[in-house]
Amino acid sequence: MTKELEGKVGLVTGGTSGIGRETAVLFAKAGAKVVVAGRRELEGRETIELVRAVGGDGLFVKADVSKAFEVDALVQKTVERFGRLDVAFNNAGIEGVWVSIIRQSEEDWDRTIDINLKGAWLCLKYEIRQMLKQGGGGAIVNMASVTGLVGSAGATAYTASKHGVIGLTKAAALENARSGIRINAVCPGAIETPMADRIFGAPQVHKYVLSCHPIGRFGRPAEIAEAVVWMCSDRASFMTGQSLVLDGGFMAGPNAPS
């Protein structure tokens, strides 16, 4: 990998496992200093060890992205340690409880929206403030999903949160385009992560969801991370306000769950 993020400072939320962890490591390989945020301290420190193992410099900050003061502190700690913020991957998210809308609790709805959508909004707010303070310029990628583009029965809160992330991405990109801050989203299909194991772990569910991916397999975290690194690099300098779909053919066919 070329050092397309050489000299830059990157922030990854939800960096304790899966796509977030893989992206943090690839940020480091691409030359960036990396701040990893998450709620699980042990796993976060493990990610930083992986960052250092590839020759990178990193910092773990325990943070809950649904709380404004913690996100503000996260960005401030990034600047205190590394002097600035250049790129960010707002990846933190939860699946919530997948049940029918009439069985879903208000508590679960609130928690899912707070982390997935409000969390992305708060991260954007404080990341953009810092980038503007530096004089503008930068790149941010939000974690959406193919579920942000189609409905998914039994996952109303998750679906709504990811649709919201895509709209949020477009609006924020328009607000900041002239400041040189590019804001995009990535929309994965099913990826081999702990979250996917929880959602699709039952054999019949796994078989069905797999059948919705014409490529014949789930994606790998590295395949999403590679795209995020590209979107954060100058090679994607004309891309903003977009949602990049990486789904093994899910959206191209007639079999998407509804």
Instruction: Establish if 25 belongs to a structural domain.
Output: yes
Average pLDDT (4-14) is 97
> What share of the chain has pLDDT > 90, as a percent?
83
Closest listed residue to residue 209, CA positions, set 152, 132, 126: 152
Q: What is the mean pLDDT of the chain?
A: 93
- Give the separation between CA 234 and CA 118, rounded to whole angstroms: 28
Q: Give the tens place of pLDDT for each residue, 94-119.
A: 988 889 999 999 999 999 999 999 99
Instruction: Establish if 2 belongs to a structural domain.
Output: no
Q: Give the tens place of pLDDT for each residue, 210-253.
A: 788 899 998 899 999 999 999 999 999 999 999 999 999 999 97
- The answer on pLDDT for 1 being more than 60 is no
Instruction: Establish if 3 belongs to a structural domain.
Output: no
- Give the separation between CA 106 and CA 39, rounded to whole angstroms: 23
Predicted confidence band at 190 (pLDDT cuts at 50, 70, 90)?
A: confident
Cα-based distances in Å from 248 to 35, 183, 217:
30, 24, 8
> What share of the chain has pLDDT > 70, as a percent?
96
- The count of other CB atoms within 10 Å of the CB of residue 95 is 17
Q: Are 60 and 71 in contact (CB under 8 A)?
A: no
CATH number of the structural domain spanning residue 97 = 3.40.50.720
* Confidence at residue 95, expressed as pLDDT on a 0 to 100 scale: 86
- Give the separation between CA 90 and CA 86, rounded to whole angstroms: 13
- Give the separation between CA 31 and CA 232, rounded to whole angstroms: 12
Question: What does pTM read for this prediction?
Answer: 0.94
Instruction: Establish if 95 belongs to a structural domain.
Output: yes
* Confidence at residue 198, expressed as pLDDT on a 0 to 100 scale: 79
Q: Residue with structure tokens 């992986």?
A: 50
Report CA dihedral (255, 218, 148, 107) to the nearest 10 degrees.
Answer: 110
- Give the separation between CA 53 and CA 88, rounded to whole angstroms: 21
Instruction: Establish if 257 belongs to a structural domain.
Output: no
Q: Which residues contact 88 (CB under 8 A, 6 or more apart)?
A: 10, 11, 12, 13, 123, 127, 138, 139, 140, 141
* Confidence at residue 255, expressed as pLDDT on a 0 to 100 scale: 58
Element (H, E) at 178: none
* Confidence at residue 202, expressed as pLDDT on a 0 to 100 scale: 75
Instruction: Establish if 30 belongs to a structural domain.
Output: yes
Average pLDDT (125-142) is 98
* Number of compact structural domains in the chain: 1
Instruction: Establish if 1 belongs to a structural domain.
Output: no
* Confidence at residue 258, expressed as pLDDT on a 0 to 100 scale: 47
- Give the separation between CA 60 and CA 37, rounded to whole angstroms: 6
The residues annotated with a catalytic role in the active site are 158
Look up residue 204 and give its two tokens.
Answer: 């019949």
Segments forming the whole domain that contains residue 204: 9-252
